[in-house]
Amino acid sequence: MIGTLRRVRSVLFFVGFLFGFSFFLPYTVSASIQDETILHAVPDVPSRPDSMKNSGNEKFNAGEMIMEHVVDNHEWHIMAIGHLEVTVPLPVILLCEGKLYCFSSSRFHNETNSYQGFRLEQEGPQKGKIVSLKSRSISEPGPHVYDFSITKTVLAIFISSFLLILIFVSVAQAYRQHPKEAPRGLQSLLEPLILFIRDDIARSSIGEKKYEKFMPYLLTIFFFILFNNLFGLIPFFPGGANVTGNIAVTLVMAVFTFIITAISGNRHYWIDIINTPGVPWWLKFPVPLMPVVEIIGIITKPFVLMVRLFANITAGHIIVLGFVSLIFIFGQVNMALGMGVSVVSIAFMLFMNLLELLVAVIQAYVFTLLSALYFGLAVIEPEHH
């Protein structure tokens, strides 16, 4: 039980670090150049220029609807009632030409979708991104804009990190107050998962002697992925964000695995990469074919981690949204046909949601298991006979 409490504390430390780092980074940047920023207040425009896109005169665009729900955004769309769209505007934090600009994303709700010399692109390859209007020509774009905004994905990470901290703090307090009692409540739910990661993932993949120092990271990554996968299946605010379906998020987690593997690699690990045992010498000299292959393998391992999680979670969301789109597509042809298709679509949606519950757990397990296997390969010692 004491060991479980220590692992809970480790998870709390890493989740707290992740939450704190992501929260204070934009404001650390702003503190250094805040004196150079001048904000001009303008009245908000209550209506959005694109709120008439899905009016009765235009056909339903399934691709546009799906992409708007899957990709990141500078505001959190909650619902649409007729022409009224209910959204939560998020903070926009921009760094351009040495000046910091901070304002609400609702400032872009005007005819030009622009504010203070910046525009939120609505079409084209830069759709959804904020660009500068200080462009001389098409061939000479304006100054680069560094976007540190609190987007939908970032806000979802804040919420999930806060809830994870809250959950594990309560579990740690329960262990501290009742050290000799049987687990209750959240303890009984989390302790089997923690023991499963320790015994069936970390200990078996890394080894009895060296698995403990990797436990904080493995527990953090497992619960972070699992919680955000499950939270993304909730169809209403504050759920529904596609956090683990954002390739930037999966990239960061894969890079962490890569860095820990590289730092933890022992002498035997690096020698085997440069001079792979059991391989004919002519594959190593004069052309170092096998060392090149091994180095490429080091890079492709985190790449596989990144793409697998991103592709599986995003594909599940797209399939569910595709079934939703069928109702509106057939409904535009004939109302009765749309109602008939809705029965089939809802049935498949429920099936896909149940399947996504399974995928959410499997993907968290696979990412954690592969990370543990990479750590195990990096710290394994040669056998002496």
**287 CB burial (10 A radius; 0-12, 13-18, 19+):** exposed
d(CA 210, CA 279): 29
Instruction: Verify that 52 and 99 share a domain, yes or no.
Output: yes
Tell me the pTM. Answer: 0.78
**Beta-bridge partners for 77:** 87
> Residue 15: pLDDT above 50?
no
38 is a domain residue: yes
Instruction: Verify that 200 and 134 share a domain, yes or no.
Output: no
Provide the pLDDT for residue 28.
31
Instruction: Verify that 96 and 208 share a domain, yes or no.
Output: no
Instruction: Verify that 266 and 372 share a domain, yes or no.
Output: yes
Q: Tell me the mean pLDDT in the region 231-257.
A: 89
Instruction: Verify that 214 and 359 share a domain, yes or no.
Output: yes
Provide the pLDDT for residue 207.
86
- Choose the final residue of a domain: 132, 151, 170: 151
Q: Give me the number of domains the chain comprises.
A: 2
Provide the pLDDT for residue 144.
84
Q: Which domain holds residue 195?
A: 154-160+181-379
Q: Report yes or no: 91 and 104 within 8 Å, Cβ to Cβ.
A: yes
Instruction: Verify that 246 and 291 share a domain, yes or no.
Output: yes
Provide the pLDDT for residue 367.
95
> Residue 43: pLDDT above 80?
no
Question: Which tens digit of pLDDT belongs to each residue from 45-96?
Answer: 344 444 334 444 567 777 777 877 788 888 888 877 777 778 888 999 999 8
d(CA 20, CA 362): 28
What confidence category does residue 385 fall into, taking pLDDT thresholds of 50, 70 and 90? very low
Return the beta strands (E) in 74-218 as ranges: 75-81, 84-89, 91-96, 99-104, 114-115, 118-120, 130-132, 146-147
Instruction: Verify that 356 and 288 share a domain, yes or no.
Output: yes
19 is a domain residue: no
21 is a domain residue: no
Instruction: Verify that 348 and 222 share a domain, yes or no.
Output: yes
**Between the CA of residue 346 and those of 239, 241, 319, 330, what are the distances in Å?**
20, 21, 12, 14
> Residue 260: pLDDT above 90?
yes
d(CA 254, CA 225): 12
22 is a domain residue: no
d(CA 113, CA 122): 8
Of residues 283 and 376, more confidence is placed in 376
**176 CB burial (10 A radius; 0-12, 13-18, 19+):** exposed
What confidence category does residue 124 fall into, taking pLDDT thresholds of 50, 70 and 90? confident
Q: Tell me the mean pLDDT in the region 120-128.
A: 81
Instruction: Verify that 274 and 364 share a domain, yes or no.
Output: yes
Provide the pLDDT for residue 196.
93
301 is a domain residue: yes
98 is a domain residue: yes
Provide the pLDDT for residue 216.
92
Of residues 57 and 324, more confidence is placed in 324
What confidence category does residue 251 fall into, taking pLDDT thresholds of 50, 70 and 90? very high
Tokens of 351: 């099936």
The pLDDT > 90 percentage for the chain reads 27
Instruction: Verify that 245 and 361 share a domain, yes or no.
Output: yes
1 is a domain residue: no
Q: Report yes or no: 205 and 369 within 8 Å, Cβ to Cβ.
A: yes
The mean of the pLDDT values for the chain is 79
The alpha carbon torsion through 216, 217, 223, 227 (nearest 10 deg) reads 140
- Choose the final residue of a domain: 133, 151, 169: 151
Provide the pLDDT for residue 7.
52
> Residue 142: pLDDT above 90?
no
Provide the pLDDT for residue 57.
53
279 is a domain residue: yes
Of residues 61 and 167, more confidence is placed in 167
Instruction: Verify that 106 and 238 share a domain, yes or no.
Output: no
Instruction: Verify that 80 and 213 share a domain, yes or no.
Output: no
Return the beta strands (E) in the chain as ranges: 75-81, 84-89, 91-96, 99-104, 114-115, 118-120, 130-132, 146-147
d(CA 192, CA 4): 10
Provide the pLDDT for residue 222.
95
